[in-house]
Structure 1
């Protein structure tokens, strides 16, 4: 994977920010269908912006949000151990700070 994934598999890291992974309990077919829905919605956002249609942009963003929620990337967390959600938090300000410091040093030769 291009971006490092936390040891518990809940997040991947982009430029120091944690982003929630999709639920791991999907079958391949279900995950493929949901990703297809997400990508279709993202293309709809692009097309609506190109057409300068604010209502279509808003509708497309709602579809993106619905697809991400279905994947488990937004909304209620998919894990059941009561751990907090750090989606869209800086890794260095969370319980993943030590892990990320090691990843950053090994990947980037330091900060």
Structure 2
């Protein structure tokens, strides 16, 4: 699979003509892989909760999606406006919450 097109400044990726915030490029590969695994699991759980018509499970799963996206730098404060130690703290806290949740 090829990498998606990026905007000139590198802050966003363009997929089917729509801009999405890019993941933090400073994320170490192992951290990125763990966050993506949590994200995919949470998205599957959102779908399961919707099919089961379980709003509480859906809310929990959507919270995990949010945590993973924040850890990746795709939500919350823009990673390009943060210092590296703030970004590291954000991904470590996201992983800590997702790993224990």
Q: Please give the TM-score of this superposition, normalised by the length of structure 2.
A: 0.72
Unaligned regions of 5+ residues in structure 1, if any?
Answer: 82-111
2:89 equivalent in structure 1: none
2:59 equivalent in structure 1: 58
5 Å-filtered alignment, 1:72-83, equals: 72-80=73-81
Deviation at residue 17 of structure 1 after TM alignment: 2.3
1:102 equivalent in structure 2: none
Unaligned regions of 5+ residues in structure 2, if any?
Answer: 83-101
1:99 equivalent in structure 2: none
Alignment partners' CA distance in 1, 2:34 and 2:78: 20
2:31 equivalent in structure 1: 30
C-alpha deviations, 1:25-44, integer Å up to 9, x for none? 01110110111110111011
Q: Which has the greater radius of gyration?
A: 1
Report the structure, 1 or 2, having the larger helix content: 2
Structure with the bigger RCO (C-alpha within 8 Å, sep 6+) is: 1
Aligned length, in residue pairs: 81
Deviation at residue 14 of structure 1 after TM alignment: 2.8
Alignment partners' CA distance in 1, 2:78 and 2:31: 18
Aligned residues: CA RMSD: 1.6
Q: Please give the TM-score of this superposition, normalised by the length of structure 1.
A: 0.66
